[in-house]
Amino acid sequence: MTFNNPNKSNVFIKLFIYNTTLALLFLTISCERGPKEDLNVIAIDNEKTNIVVTTTHIRDLVQKITGNRFRIHSLMGPGVDPHIYKPTSRDILAITKADIVVFHGMMLEGKLSEVLSSGEKKGIFTFNATAGLPNEQIIFPDQGDGNIQYPDPHVWFDPKIWSTVAREFTKMISDFDPAGKNFYKKNLKLFTDEILLIENWATAQMKNIPQSNKKLVTSHDAFQYFGRAMGLEVIALQGVSTTTEAGLGDRASLVDLIKQQNIPAIFIESSVNPGAIEEIAKECKVTVGGELFSDALGSKDHSSVGPGGRLFTANTWSGMMVHNVSTIVKALRQKTL
Amino acid sequence: MTEFFPPLDFSDTFWAPWATQKDFAWNAQIVGMGIMVSLSCGLIGSFIVARKLALMGDAISHGILPGLAIAFITTQSNALFPMFIGACGAGLLCSFCIEWLHKKTPLKMDAALGLTFTSFFALGVLLITQMGNNTHIDPECLLYGEIGFTPLAESIYWGSVEIGSRPLLSIGLVTLVIILTITVFYKQLMVTSFDQTLSVSLGLSVRTIHYGLMLVLAITIVASFESVGVILVIAMLIFPSTTASFFFTRMPAILLCSFPLSIFYSFGGFFLARWLDCSIAGSMVVVAMVCFGIAWLLGTENGILTNLFFRKRTILDHSN
């Protein structure tokens, strides 16, 4: 009745290697960090009020409205896919120490959205940025017979909705910190003006694309709001969430569609593996039109020329829109033969 | 290198998590969660490993996917209870199929295991794709928890008194059930694990005990999954008992070792994660791995050094 036997060593070595590999892999993945600038910053500043934000889009919005009145800690860095984000130990610390946690909601952050929704009861003040949106503005993807309707969370691509989100946030933050009310109001005005400017510019740019080319093919279904706002038909390889793989049928019908409709270019996304789209592009002999920012904004080193010849850096909402619009227009304006 | 290993700030790593009452309450819940998951998995894992079924945990964790999908389709919601029942049912069915394939066909155990859980997983993927790409059901989202969020999870109330967060309570309950089961059925579990002929002659039903064990395993896996994620569960089923077996050969000693080991894993992992700023669950497994490495090297029973200096003859005898 002993537990040991002389042959077990071998099995243990195998198990050891298996588990070690898994653990190390997991550790490396979760240790992946954003840009250098965030690395040495101690998450919490006791002097100022701390705001923790989840995605890069929310970070930009909060930054624009509150200026530097608060210390902002962003959980996700540029290029991090919020669907599969895993928090590090310091992220969790930041949440516990935060005075306000602003999150995107609509299940964009997966389990994190769910957990933060109940944060209120735990003495953490959380703000769901998209909770105030009216239902008729939100796109509910067609799901066949299912009774449950999950909203499409990629609302930042619609300039009008994004202004609404900014207004809702300003309302909340003005209640939270009445002393800064006028400051926030002024910033909101600047921000919504900029959104309007970008929207008008983008709509004008879109006119350069011939009507027959107004089709946007991307990796995952993030651009429905963008398409609605800009008058583009959006076709995606994967579903709304990046965690489900594309089926073979989806892939085949996408290839047929690209060939039939003479789509000149298809696009990859900065936070999604480009492999599948590149393969399809090769198969259909169309060009890859460039990289679009979908679920995460870019780094501040990347900028593109927007309305009035101004430069917009890709770590802001405006820069993201300018980059996406110019990339799409440049690739789709060419006449197909 | 300095980017990967930041300098160790002693007070920030070891003292700061317990400095204020709020920090203490929060972090104690995280560490407590780690301890209970490692303990319950470690205890049940000792028997699983002794039965040469170490990867059964991995198999069941994949095998529950169709159960989740069916529960989701039939109830049209991702409510926790139907999901839990579906997952446990599928896990049990998975272990039943493995056993059946092993007994009724010429297949070896590992082949039966690999064959069954991949089929189950594939079936689950198929069902989920059938439901439409746009549903947000994926195990990542529905079932795999994050240990750091334990204190944020919803609380259970007794009337108006808050008892504690739900994942913590459910894993506590599971740990209790496991300790009770092992105490009550200790003799039966031991006999069926090590001497099947004896257990038959004693009139014990090997099958019943096997499936009982599998049911407890499935419940443990599902309950832990939901609160701490997959990696920790599979690792903790295997690490404590294998580490302990380099020092002890008797089952009771190995079972008792799970207690100090799980406490060490949880605190060690927690501090390591704080130091390196990375995932807590991942760090816990790395700590477990280091413990295993040390035990393997220094262990009194078949440890590398012991064998090298004291027991060379024994090893030679075995290999011949």
Phi, psi of A33 (to 5 degrees): -115, 170
Tell me the pLDDT tens digit for each residue of B209-222. Answer: 999 999 999 999 88
pLDDT for res A199: 94
Tell me the C-alpha distance between A91 and A84, whole Å: 15
pLDDT above 60 (res B94): yes
Report the DSSP beta bridge partners of residue B164: B156
Q: Which residue of B has its CA nearest to A139?
A: B134
pLDDT for res A2: 44
Q: Which residue, chain included where needed, has tokens 């006028």?
A: A182
In this structure, chain B runs to a length of 320
pLDDT for res A88: 84
Domains of chain B from N-terminus onward: 10-312 (1.10.3470.10)
pLDDT for res A16: 63
Test mutation, A26, A114, A241, chain B, max B CBs within 10 A: A26
pLDDT above 80 (res A103): yes
Q: Say if the Cβ atoms of A110 and B4 lie within 8 Å.
A: no
Tell me the C-alpha distance between A301 and B25, whole Å: 41
Tell me the pLDDT tens digit for each residue of B251-308. Answer: 999 999 999 999 999 999 999 998 888 889 889 999 999 999 999 999 888 888 888 8
pLDDT for res B113: 92
Tell me the C-alpha distance between A277 and A283, whole Å: 10
Tokens for A58, please give them: 């929310």
Segment A21-45 shows an average pLDDT of 49
Does A11 contact B at CB distance below 8 Å? Answer: yes
pLDDT above 90 (res A82): no
pLDDT for res B216: 92
Tell me the C-alpha distance between A30 and B285, whole Å: 13
Report the DSSP beta bridge partners of residue A268: A291
pLDDT above 80 (res A143): no
Element housing B203 (H / E):
none
Decide if B134 contacts A239 (C-beta within 8 A): yes
Q: Do domains A36-133+146-195 and A208-332 have the same CATH topology?
A: yes
Report the share of chain B in percent with pLDDT over 70: 90
Tell me the pLDDT tens digit for each residue of B157-168. Answer: 777 777 778 888
pLDDT for res B268: 95
Element housing A141 (H / E):
none
Taking CA A95 as the corner, what is the angle to CA A94 and CA A98, rounded to the nearest 5 degrees? 80
* A:31-60 residues touching chain B, CB 8 A cutoff: 31, 39
- The CATH code of domain A36-133+146-195 reads 3.40.50.1980
To the nearest whole Å, the CA of A193 is away from the closest chain B CA by 34
Q: Are strands A303-305 and A311-313 parallel, antiparallel or unpaired?
A: antiparallel
Burial of B284 by CB count in 10 Å (0-12 exposed, 13-18 middle, 19+ buried)?
A: buried
Mean pLDDT score across all residues of chain A: 81
pLDDT for res A276: 84
Does A144 contact B at CB distance below 8 Å? Answer: yes
pLDDT bucket at B141, cuts 50 / 70 / 90:
low
Tell me the C-alpha distance between A217 and A233, whole Å: 9
pLDDT for res A336: 53
Nearest to A27 among B155, B283, B302 (CB): B283
pLDDT for res A6: 47
A284 vs A26, residue with greater confidence: A284
Tell me the pLDDT tens digit for each residue of B182-196. Answer: 999 999 999 988 888
E-only strand ranges, chain A: 50-53, 71-74, 100-103, 126-128, 215-220, 233-238, 265-269, 287-292, 303-305, 311-313
Decide if A297 contacts A78 (C-beta within 8 A): yes
Q: What does the DSSP 8-state code read for residue A241? A: S
pLDDT above 90 (res A30): no
Tell me the C-alpha distance between A35 and A315, whole Å: 11
Test mutation, A17, A24, A25, A27, chain B, max B CBs within 10 A: A27
Q: Say if the Cβ atoms of A4 and B301 lie within 8 Å.
A: yes
Report the share of chain A in percent with pLDDT over 70: 80
Decide if A66 contacts A15 (C-beta within 8 A): no
Three-class secondary structure of residue A53 per DSSP: strand
Element housing B274 (H / E):
helix B251-276
pLDDT for res B320: 40
Element housing A273 (H / E):
none
Boundaries of every domain in chain A: 36-133+146-195, 208-332
pLDDT above 90 (res B246): yes
Query: Which among A205-209, A215-219, B39-43, B52-56 has the top mean pLDDT?
Result: B39-43
Beta-carbon contacts of B140 under 8 Å, excluding residues fewer than 6 positions away, are A83, A84, A110, A111, A243
pLDDT for res A188: 95
Query: Which among A121-130, B59-68, B168-177 has the top mean pLDDT?
Result: B168-177
Tokens for B70, please give them: 């069916």
- The CATH code of domain A208-332 reads 3.40.50.1980
Does A239 contact B at CB distance below 8 Å? Answer: yes
A327 vs A136, residue with greater confidence: A327
Q: What's the gap between Cα A290 and its chain centre?
A: 17
Tell me the pLDDT tens digit for each residue of A169-227. Answer: 999 999 999 999 999 999 999 999 999 999 999 999 999 998 888 889 988 888 999 99
Nearest to B132 among A83, A121, A143 (CB): A143
Beta-carbon contacts of A87 under 8 Å, excluding residues fewer than 6 positions away, are A75, A95, A112, B146, B148, B149, B279
Give chain A positions within 8 Å (CB) of B254.
Answer: 3
pTM of the model: 0.78
Tell me the C-alpha distance between A241 and B84, whole Å: 23
ipTM associated with this complex = 0.72
Give chain B positions within 8 Å (CB) of A250.
Answer: 133
Q: How many CB pairs under 8 A join A and B?
A: 182
pLDDT for res B295: 94
Nearest to A3 among B149, B245, B270 (CB): B245
Report the DSSP beta bridge partners of residue A233: A215
Cα within 13 Å of Cα(B183), Cβ side: 7
Give chain B positions within 8 Å (CB) of A221.
Answer: 133-134
Tell me the pLDDT tens digit for each residue of A111-142. Answer: 788 788 777 767 788 999 998 888 888 888 76
Test mutation, A83, A89, A112, A149, chain B, max B CBs within 10 A: A89
Tell me the pLDDT tens digit for each residue of A250-299. Answer: 788 888 888 888 888 899 988 788 888 888 888 888 889 889 998 888 88
Closest to A269 in 3D by CA, of A299, A295, A246? A295
Decide if A299 contacts A319 (C-beta within 8 A): no
pLDDT bucket at A161, cuts 50 / 70 / 90:
very high
Tokens for A107, please give them: 């299940």
Q: Which residue type sits at B197?
A: T
